[in-house]
A and B are shown apart, each in its own frame.
Chain A
Amino acid sequence: MQSIADNVGGAISYASLARKNRSKDIAIASLGIFVLFIAIATLLALFIDLAITGYPRLADPEFYTSFPSRKPLQAGILSAWVGTIMVMVVTACLSVPLGVAAGLYLEEYASKNWFTDLIEINVSNLAGVPSIVYGLLALGLFIYTFGMSETVLVAGMVLALLILPIIIVSTRESIRSIPSELREAAYGLGATQWQTMALYIVPAAKPGIITGAIVGLSRAIGETAPIITIGALSFIAFLPESPISSDAPFINFGWLTSPFTVMPIQMFSWLSRPQADFHISAAAAGVVLIVMTLMMNALAIYIRYRARSR
């Protein structure tokens, strides 16, 4: 009987066959490394270019503690980064509970029928809708219909709407990835659906949910279009009211209704000025924004790592 080795080996031995197959592996790996290198190099070049251009302003501590100014060398980003943080807080407070609750409902409670299928498809599609459309929606709904003004609250709301689909989808994904054995174990002990969710499913899915939320927020932090659409100001020479006051009840919500600016808008407005010095400030602000985004991503990685090692 002729062996397979003989059949194949007429022209080539197993050794050369293995070598040939391995060279394919190496080719694919090299291609991957090359593509990866291009992507990282581009990003790095951009970042380094921004950092070099913006260095004069980045190195100036006053840059971080000054309000915008007509004089390029005195213009700072204080109101911008404070505004960004405040808007992010509002966005997070609105989108995370809403998104997680919606994800939980769709994954665990909703019965599977054509209607929930429709909702599911729409939620996925919403994640791909251009952000300017959300801006127009907010303009029409919040500002014109409800008569709200262009405040921190409205900006937070529009960004929350923008990242809601991301959070819903990532919540559903991380709940779906919980093995059904865990679910059955909880039900098998006599747990109700709520107990199963609250005590076992959500804690187990927490890392995934938090990661999804942070990924959503780091998208929101760089969004300009919807905020410009609702008419955020680009020149704010004052800070919103402090959320903590010295007299009772120590917390106040005045900041929610104050006008604001955010980092991307500040950059945009500087870039649209003719003076070259403002472009330096814009570059510096860009570096700060990138660092803020990277820090949020690092936080997401840290949370995931900690949850996994536990």
Chain B
Amino acid sequence: MTAMNQPKTTNEFAQKDARQTPREALDHWYLEPDAALRARVSNLKFWYGNGTQAIDDVSFPLVEKKVTALIGPSGCGKSTLLRCFNRMHDLYHGVKYSGSIELFPENENLIDLDPNVVRMRVGMVFQKPNPFPKSIYENVVAGLRIRGISKRSQLDEIAETSLTQAAIWDEVKDRLHQPALSLSGGQQQRLCIARALAVQPEILLLDEPTSALDPIATAKVEDLINDLDGKVTVLIVTHNMQQAARISHYAAYMYLGKLVEYNETSEMFTRPMCQRTEDYITGRFG
């Protein structure tokens, strides 16, 4: 941890040296000096049930209370990597992991934990808004009910805070008991974010949360993610590079199951360290 958590660079030109020659991949990362780690992925490999390897030796840090974006072309394994974080793959038969996703400060390997425990601790929002076919209120408190909390006053309070945090409280406060499916797509997605936030996840995973939304709804969700910066550790997969540039603090570029570059987002989008990252983000890919 100390090796990686060292200041971004002590010698101003050390960093420049790294940039001098285009590289295939990086073996170390530059982090801000005060960055604390929430998790660290080390040499993670993943195989699907049919034997295809979707993730090959990926290592990168997840900085506490910051938004980290996973970018890369379709099929590069970024969604697969995201789903490793809450062990969603374990729902399907025959998957295999190797390597570790260490959680800090507990120093636990997420891969060795009970998937149910992991999912209690790591929340997820999906590509398509997927509220339960129940009322708005029941959707927000669903995670609490699953955890056996049923005291009405407590549920009410948490429902209000998380709906407010998800910037949808004003829109739904008068219709909490109407069906969630009566909301618009963008509202449904923010409701899903509220549902994930209600259980105060240690890490929040977002899997292309705006790809099914129109530009206005997208802007609202992006605003909400910006608000989460500094409050929640967020890992987001996005196809939209401008979106990654807008909302994330750190970014990881993946290609063919491998991590090519992990960098501060502003660095990656103005002067990426690897030629392949440059080619991808400037649209020279292929």
Contacts and interface: CB of A to CB of B under 8 A. Distances in A.
Contact, chains A and B (beta carbon distance below 8 A): yes
Interface of A: 111-112, 179, 181-192, 195, 199-200, 203-204, 310
Contacts of B179: 310
Given A112-B93, A200-B132, A188 B126 contact: yes
A184 B91 contact: yes
A188 B124 contact: yes
A186 B132 CA distance: 8
16 contacts: A179-B130, A182-B130, A184-B124, A184-B130, A185-B130, A185-B131, A185-B132, A186-B132, A187-B119, A188-B86, A188-B196, A189-B119, A189-B142, A190-B199, A191-B119, A199-B142
Given A182-B133, A186-B146, A188-B119, 6 more contacts: A181-B128, A183-B91, A186-B132, A189-B196, A190-B143, A199-B142
Contacts of A182: 130, 132-133
Contacts of A187: 88, 91, 119
A189 B195 contact: yes
A191 B195 CA distance: 13
Contacts of A184: 88, 91, 124, 126, 130
Contacts of B117: 190
A190 B120 contact: yes
A185 B196 CA distance: 9
**Shortest 5 CB-CB contacts between residues of A and residues of B:** A190-B120, A181-B130, A188-B124, A189-B143, A190-B119
A185 B88 contact: no
B72 interface: no
B243 interface: no
Contacts of A191: 119, 146
B116 interface: yes
A179 B133 CA distance: 11
Contacts of B121: 190
A190 B132 contact: no
Given A181-B130, A200-B132, A310-B179, A188 B146 contact: no
A186 B130 CA distance: 10
Contacts of A181: 126, 128, 130
B147 interface: yes
B88 A195 contact: no
A234 B142 CA distance: 55
B224 to A, nearest CB: 18
